[in-house]
């Protein structure tokens, strides 16, 4: 989450001071993302240094100092909204590595390992869903934030389901694969 751009977006509605920006950030992200006020001030200082916001210079310093977005701040925000997030490079997924390891270690039931992770993920999803259910349908900020987490977690559960089914279909022990998992993405690609 770019705190920088979130603050620029809040300033599009008009000048605001730091504490108010912090409160609005939290309420509009469904209070799922806590943000401390110190982080808000550090970010504002950097934005001001980069010419993306400006503040009153008339001595109104401290907590009540108003910040305004500049024209280049507005351009920066518009560009950022349409820039794809960095989703191109697959991260080395810890869960993938754990399942690969479980597949190779003698005496380990890989299905049981998969189920332990599945249960944990579904429990986290239950907690998020509970937050959404209790909040009602009108808190759009919270619903969007929680949905994003739920879709991400669901994706991981679906990967576990697919892994479970794939491994279940193997009737023999698979060909040996190296235990060196430091380059795990290529192991996934080259297996079988």
Partner 1 sequence: MSAMLELRGVSKVYGSGPTEVNALHDVSLSVDRGEMVAVMGPSGSGKSTLLTIAGSLEEASSGDVLVDGSDLRTMSADDRARLRRRSIGYVFQDFNLLAGLTATENVALPLELDGHESGVAHATGLEALKTLGLADRASHFPDDLSGGERQRVAIARAMVGNRRLLLADEPSGALDSVNGEAVMRLLRNATKRGMAGVVVTHDAQLAAWADRVVFLRDGRMVDNTMPPPSPESLLSGPER
Q: How many residues form the binding site for partner 1 (CB under 8 A)? A: 30
Q: Is 111 near partner 1 (CB under 8 A)?
A: yes
Closer residue to partner 1, CB minimum distance, 77 or 99: 99
Hey, which residues between 15 and 34 contact partner 1 (CB under 8 A)? 32, 34
Q: Note whether 151 binds partner 1 by CB under 8 A.
A: yes
Task: Out of 68, 119, 166, 191, point to the residue binding partner 1 (CB under 8 A).
Answer: 119
CA proximity to 28, closest of 132, 145, 149, 131: 145
Among 127, 144, 179, 183, which residue sits at the site for partner 1 (rule: CB under 8 A)? 127
CB of 2 to partner 1, least distance (A): 17
CA 181/CA 97 separation, integer angstroms: 7
Candidates 47-55, 62-70, 80-88, 118-126; binding stretch for partner 1 (CB under 8 A): 118-126
**Contacting residue, 20, 93, 98, 118, with partner 1 by CB under 8 A:** 118
69 binds partner 1 (CB under 8 A): no
Residue 63 vs 122, nearer CB to partner 1: 122
Token pair for 79: 């560009």
Bridge-based pairing state of the strands 16-17 and 66-69: antiparallel
Does position 96 bind partner 1 by CB under 8 A? no
> How far, in Å, are 41, 65, 112 from residue 57 at the CA level?
16, 9, 63
- Residue 158 binds partner 1 (CB under 8 A): yes
Q: Is 134 in the site for partner 1 (CB under 8 A)?
A: yes
- Nearest-10 crossing angle of helices 3-11, 18-28: 110
CA-CA distance, 91 to 66, in Å (whole number)?
40
Nearer to partner 1, 2 or 45 (CB): 2
Binding site for partner 1 (CB under 8 A): 32, 34, 111, 115, 118-131, 133-134, 137, 150-151, 153-154, 157-158, 161, 164-165
């Amino acid at each position: 989450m770019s705190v920088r751009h979130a603050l620029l977006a809040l300033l599009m509605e008009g000048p605001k001071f730091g504490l108010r920006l912090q409160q609005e950030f939290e309420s509009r992200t469904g209070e799922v993302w806590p943000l401390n006020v110190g982080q808000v001030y550090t970010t504002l200082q950097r934005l001001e240094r980069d010419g993306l916001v400006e503040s009153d210079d008339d001595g109104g310093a401290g907590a009540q100092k108003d910040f305004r977005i500049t024209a280049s701040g507005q351009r920066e925000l518009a560009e950022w909204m349409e820039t794809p997030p960095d989703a191109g490079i697959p991260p080395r997924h810890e869960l993938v590595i754990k399942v690969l390891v479980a597949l190779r270690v003698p005496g380990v039931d890989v299905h049981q390992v998969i189920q332990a992770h599945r249960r944990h993920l579904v429990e986290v999803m239950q907690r998020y869903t509970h937050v959404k259910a209790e909040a009602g349908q009108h808190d759009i900020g919270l619903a969007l934030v929680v949905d994003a987490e739920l879709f991400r977690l669901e994706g991981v559960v679906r990967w576990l389901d697919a892994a479970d089914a794939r491994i279940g279909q193997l009737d023999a022990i698979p060909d040996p694969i190296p235990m060196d998992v430091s380059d795990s993405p290529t192991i996934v690609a080259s297996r079988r």
